[in-house]
Amino acid sequence: MRLFSTLTALVASCLVSLGFSEETRPNVIVIMADDLGYGDLSCYGATAFETPYIDQLAAEGIRFTSGYCSASTCTPTRYSFLTGTYAFREKGTGIAPPSSPSIIPAGTPTIASMLQGQGYNTAVIGKWHLGLGGPEGPDWNGDLKPGPLEMGFDHCFLLPTTNDRVPQVYVQDHRVLNLDPNDPLWVGKKKPSEDHPTGITHRETLKMDWSHGHNSTIHNGISRIGFYTGGEKARFRDEDLADKWVEKSVEFMGKNKEEPFFLFFASHDCHVPRIPHERFQGATPLGFRADSIVQLDWCVGELMKAADRLGIAENTLFVFCSDNGPVMDDGYADEALEKLGDHRAGGPFTGGKYSVYEGGTRTPFITRWKGKIAPGVSDEIVATIDLYHSLASLTEAELPDDAAKDSIDVLGALLGTEGAEGRTELVQQDNGNRGNYGFRSGDWKLQRHDSGSARNVVVEKKLANTKVPKFQLFNLAKDPQEKKNLAESHPEKMEELKTRLNEIISSGKTR
């Protein structure tokens, strides 16, 4: 008991030294961009366009140079962020199809349920792409359970899949918004009728052409992955997505300004199809991809302004991150490649989306808490998977043994506490179906390619599978582009990291 009292007093004194009181429960806003690369912001080196609001967020907080997501595609990163567990530990956590059942079982401990248990009002607004409904998949015309509300969120307003997949409707809490029961929504894998318009049969009608794979049902002049019919009154216009996310987020912030809240703002910018609102089209010389990044910057600015206007900015922790690295041609002819110029979306790193090279998972990562976080730049390793444990530490929540299996407490690094350290090691994965891993340990990086090939090694070129050795070893301090394979010259380090990666994969948890 004396030891417990001493530890309690020590924790309390640490919180006071950081400027917290025992009653402090800061609002938390996690802004997760989509397919945003390390070099896609002006505060990270972009020069072809500017992102002033995100730059302000970085200038008033900490800009991390080794900030990561845990996977190079969206579904596994989002799974790991919410559950604090590496997605490769669970089957079915690859890129979710249009009518995927819920990937996270109802009742699974999540970052949202943890904060909900600490008295937070919780919401996810934006892209979901983690499946909805039971084993048979979503009932689009009924209650979409389980969903975010069964995972710790009090409220959700969603793009249910991702916008290159059908259907193009909003989900509010358990229902498709504005759905007319006389015009039911049908979603399927096969063409519903011979005369159903698709990107192949009606290609001449498209306002944005497809380049590969996105040629099924047409909505808003854009063909998608998958088929659907009906639900006409429920369908949205691509150009209005960002405005709707901001509207609903500001509404949630205003309703909950007197109580602590957690908002997961899940942007769709700059994922395909890249159709920003008309007022952002042509905002940059790089085409719709960069225009969408400028739109994302506007969204961040609106949330920052709302926090100021509501008088909660000084008690709100902002976290800005991305779900994976960049990709240029990802299925649509939107001139992302043709207008790229000298812009390097992945910054100094090789690879991008779908890749376990650094460009696939090392992304912008920023924290800001006015009056609590001293502005600066940090080289500490932090990752989206660690937000679960770190916020539990901040709010003094107790984690069950079976929760957040791979989430590490890096709160000190996130807040810029003097002497605080981030992670010492991190496993990176691709989409979960190819068995490719990156493993960073300090300055060393092991790549393990069970598939025998690496995807999208250079983001400036079209997606391609390039043959590589099963194992590669790099020193990131000397070779951040992962060009010089040191496997033969450093066999002991190679074996050390191979052994450790095997231990992590087989262990079931690392926390």
Cβ contact 429:454 at 8 Å: no
Residue with the larger pLDDT of the pair 408 and 460: 408
pLDDT(81) > 80 = yes
**Residues across the chain:** 511
User: Is 183 a domain residue?
Assistant: yes
409, 503: one domain:
no
The residue ranking higher by pLDDT, 435 or 358, is 358
Average predicted confidence (pLDDT) for the chain: 93
Q: Helices in 310-446 by DSSP H: which ranges?
A: 358-361, 387-394, 411-415
| Inside any domain, residue 225 | yes
CATH of the domain at 136: 3.40.720.10
Q: pLDDT tens digits, residue range 343-353?
A: 999 999 999 99
Map tokens 């949202």 to a residue.
112
CA distances from 398 to 23, 44, 75, 388, 391 (A): 16, 36, 27, 11, 11
Q: Which of 415, 448, 477 is the last residue of a domain?
A: 415
Structure tokens at 36: 């945003």
Confidence bin at 73 (pLDDT 50/70/90): very high
Q: Which whole number is the average pLDDT over 144-165?
A: 97
Residue labelled with tokens 């983001």: 459
- pLDDT score recorded for residue 321: 98
320 with 329: CB under 8 angstroms? no
Helix 241-255 vs helix 288-309: angle between axes, to the nearest 10 degrees? 20
* Residue whose structure tokens are 């908002």: 263
Phi, psi of 281 (to 5 degrees): -70, 125
- Judged by DSSP in three states, 124 sits in strand
Amino acid 435: pLDDT: 80
Is the distance from CB of 29 to CB of 305 less than 8 angstroms? no
pLDDT for residue 12? 42
Domain boundary residue among 371, 388, 415?
Answer: 415
The DSSP letter of residue 102 is P
Would you place residue 244 in the very low, low, confident or very high pLDDT band (cuts 50, 70, 90)?
Answer: very high
Query: Looking at the structure, do residues 102 and 233 belong to the same domain, yes or no?
Result: yes
Domain shared by 325 and 406, yes or no: yes
**What is the mean predicted confidence (pLDDT) over 453-469?**
66
Q: Is residue 50 situated within a structural domain?
A: yes
183: left (phi over 0), alpha (psi -120 to 50) or beta: beta
Residues 6+ apart with CB under 8 A from 358: 346, 349, 350, 351, 438, 445, 476, 480, 481, 482
> Could you say which of 362, 388, 415 is where a domain stops?
415
Same domain flag for 432 and 411: no
For the chain, the straight-line distance linking the first and the last C-alpha, in angstroms and rounded, comes to 25
Is residue 376 domain-shared with residue 337, that is, in the same domain?
Answer: yes
Note whether 409 and 429 are same-domain residues: no
Which of 22-36, 94-108, 308-322 shows the highest mean pLDDT? 308-322
pLDDT of residue 459 exceeding 60, the answer is no
The contacts found for 423-427 with CB under 8 angstroms, 24 or more apart, are: 423/380, 423/381, 423/382, 423/383, 423/386, 424/381, 425/500, 425/504, 426/68, 426/70, 426/381, 426/383, 427/70, 427/86, 427/88, 427/501, 427/504, 427/505
User: Are 397 and 437 contacting, i.e. CB atoms less than 8 angstroms apart?
Assistant: no
Distance CA 136, CA 146 (A): 11
Picking from 298, 240, 299, 265, the residue whose alpha carbon sits closest to that of residue 126 is 265
pLDDT score of 241: 98
pLDDT value at position 19? 44
Q: Are residues 429 and 388 in the same domain?
A: no
Task: Report how far apart, in Å, the C-alpha atoms of 350 and of each of 45, 421, 440, 454, 485 are.
Answer: 16, 26, 15, 11, 14
Q: Considering its fold, how many domains does the chain have in total?
A: 2
- Cα-based torsion angle of the residue sequence 275, 460, 284, 34 in order, rounded to the nearest 10 degrees: 50
Q: Please tell me whether residues 283 and 395 are part of one structural domain.
A: yes
Domain limits for position 126? 24-415
pLDDT tens-digit map of 5-59: 444 444 444 444 444 444 468 999 999 999 999 999 999 999 999 999 999 999 9
Per DSSP, what are the bridge partners of residue 228?
187
Six-digit token pair at 325? 């690295």
Distances (CA, A) of 23 to 53, 364, 394: 30, 31, 11
Determine, yes or no, domain membership for 110: yes
Q: Cα separation of 122 and 226, whole Å? A: 31
Q: Are residues 243 and 196 in the same domain?
A: yes
Tokens 């008088």 locate to 311
> Model confidence over 379-432: pLDDT tens digits?
999 999 999 999 999 999 999 999 999 999 999 999 999 999 999 999 999 976
Strands (E), 267-408: 316-322, 366-368, 376-383
Mark whether 207 and 264 lie in a shared domain. Answer: yes
Assess whether 503 and 404 both reside in one domain. no
The structure tokens listed for 427 are 């496993």
Is 230 inside any structural domain? yes
Read off the pLDDT band of 92 (50, 70, 90): confident
CA 454 to chain centre: 21
474 and 341 part of one domain: no
Q: What is the pLDDT of residue 434?
A: 65
Do 326 and 352 meet the contact criterion of CB atoms below 8 Å apart? yes
CATH of the domain at 438: 3.30.1120.10
